[in-house]
Amino acid sequence: MHERPSGTPPAAETTFALAGAFRALGDPVRLRLLSMIAGAPGGEICVCDLTPAFDLSGPTISHHLRTLREAGLVEAERRASWVYYRPRPEALHRLAEFLQAAEDATSATVH
């Protein structure tokens, strides 16, 4: 996301893209999955290491991971029988910038 003047709302296409990412993160399972993926040693984690952390079926975990992938928050790479996930730093950075701008705008209006 590009710098914008203080108090100026983001462009419609920016908010549209961000809304999909925030919608994906609106589920506690997906939020936890993203946290695990982003915090994985070496920058990636195998689905075989994610699944046991939840009391959910493999297909349900796969559904949540696909939602994160479709929202552009993670990338996946198949290696033999397993799929490895890694975060997309640029997507996480855009979300963080948006939230920071909102916090800055709120702080500026509160005395």
- Over residues 91-111, the mean pLDDT reads 83
- Residue 26 within any structural domain of the chain: yes
The encoded tokens of residue 34 equal 């993203």
- Residue 33 within any structural domain of the chain: yes
**How far apart are the C-alpha atoms of 94 and 83, rounded to whole Å?**
25
Residue 68: is its pLDDT beyond 60?
yes
**Cα–Cα nearest to 68, from 52, 49, 48, 92:** 92
| Domains in the chain, number | 1
Residue pair 61/47 in contact by the 8 Å Cβ criterion: yes
Global pTM reads 0.83
- Residue 111 within any structural domain of the chain: no
Q: Write down the pLDDT at residue 3.
A: 54
Q: Write down the pLDDT at residue 6.
A: 56
- Residue 55 within any structural domain of the chain: yes
- Residue 37 within any structural domain of the chain: yes
CATH of residue 20's domain is 1.10.10.10
Q: Tell me which residue range forms the domain holding 93.
A: 13-104
- Residue 93 within any structural domain of the chain: yes
- Residue 88 within any structural domain of the chain: yes
Q: Give, in degrees to the nearest 5, the angle at Cα 32 between 73 and 53.
A: 125
**How far apart are the C-alpha atoms of 10 and 78, rounded to whole Å?**
36
Q: How far is CA 43 from CA 2, 53, 81, 88, 107, in A?
A: 26, 18, 20, 10, 34
